[in-house]
Amino acid sequence: MIHIEGVLLVIIGILLFELIIFIHEFGHFFTAKLCGVKVNEFALGMGPKLIKFKKGETLYSLRLFPIGGFCAMEGEDAESEDNRAFGNKSVWKRMIIVVAGAVMNILLGFVLMMITLIPAEQFASNKIAKFDKESVSSEYLKVGDEIKSINGYDIYTSMDLQFALATAKSNDFKFEVIRDGEKLTFDHVKLAENKKTSDEKKDGTDTKETSESSDEEGTMRRDFWVEGIENNFGTLMQQTFLQTGSTVRMVWASLIGLVTGQFGFNDVAGPIGMTSAVSQAASSGLERSFGDALSNIVFIMMMITVNLGVVNLLPLPALDGGRLIFLIIEAIRRKPVKPEHEGWVHAIGLVLLLIFMAVISINDIIRLFR
């Protein structure tokens, strides 16, 4: 039975991943059609065509390898005399088409986030409800404190709280809290250290959202519990919006951390690493129930689609953000950059991106064997 459930979860994971790709490319496709751009082909997957059909002027295809997709627009990468070519449309229309894929990914993240939150009895807040018996942070913090920032990272949700604590380099924190309507700052706040693994469910919180325990002795752990927020339609929508925003902020902060050296190369995962993460999340959830395993997969997919949306908007060649930069330059100069020059920049960027992905994939494989 477990074997069948495992296979089913793999299929669901693949379908969700394909949904992420489909939503991204559909964003480009839908806005291209809306702006009157001719779309030559809309493809899901890469490699040889498995299924294809033509409707109107557009060829639709399903391809063998479920690792990507594309929306091929007329005049996208070369000059075209067609009035409906991408390059012949106004700058603002091309900007909309370029950013639509990433925006759709983030909107999908919103929907997946809502799906993961619906079953929760309560949502975890950022307001302290009580402390562990062996709490160290209670020397500074008090019950009722609303945590506003940790080490300069703004706290709006339990996800922000987890990220700020998990990425800390030492057990020495700067907390900003609201206490009795007044903002207070405490330097050198410490948390308790782990002595054993604890899976206790904390009062007024959801275990899946707020557990900070670790199997490793000597590591710090969150030594306070937070208040719960009742799950109703209003709070569900609020938490979905806030936690999707927290995910976007987390991705952005992680990218900055990579550039500044806060995170190392081993903290980056490619497609193989993400597949491994999905597999581990599914296996962990399956130990409790099929529903938990499915919820874990949906949550990981939410992270992946938001990552894809944010990364695609980075101002780097070969990414949508790189194309957007050229369009902004065109809008400022009131004339486009020569297509051959832009083409060379994107080609070089694509080669560098492929090399980077290859190195990341090799690193993922090494980690799997370790």
Structure tokens at 131: 């402390």
Cα within 13 Å of Cα(227), Cβ side: 12
**Dihedral angle at the C-alpha atoms of 233, 234, 239, 240, nearest 10 degrees?**
60
Q: Which of 5, 18, 25, 200 is catalytic?
A: 25
Q: Do β-strands 122-131 and 224-230 pair in parallel, antiparallel, or remain unpaired?
A: antiparallel
Name the token pair of 340.
């051959």
- 190 Rama sector, left if φ>0, alpha if ψ -120 to 50, beta otherwise: beta
Q: Is 25 a catalytic residue?
A: yes
Q: What is the per-residue burial (b if ≥16 Cβ within 10 Å, else e) of 341-352? A: ebeebbeeeeee
Q: How many CB atoms lie within 10 A of CB 39?
A: 22
- Provide the β-strand partners of residue 63: 49
Strand 146-150 vs strand 173-179: parallel, antiparallel, or unpaired? antiparallel
Taking CB atoms within 8 Å and a gap of at least 24, the contacts of 310-313 are: 310/102, 310/106, 310/248, 310/251, 310/252, 310/255, 311/251, 311/255, 312/24, 312/101, 312/102, 312/105, 313/99, 313/102
- Beta-bridged to residue 228, according to DSSP, are 124
SS3 59: strand
Distance between CA atoms of 117 and 311, rounded to whole angstroms? 25
The β-bridge partners of 54 are 59
Q: Are 196 and 189 in contact (CB under 8 A)?
A: no
User: Who contacts 104 (Cβ-Cβ below 8 Å, separation ≥6)?
Assistant: 23, 24, 26, 27, 309
- Active site (catalytic) residues: 25
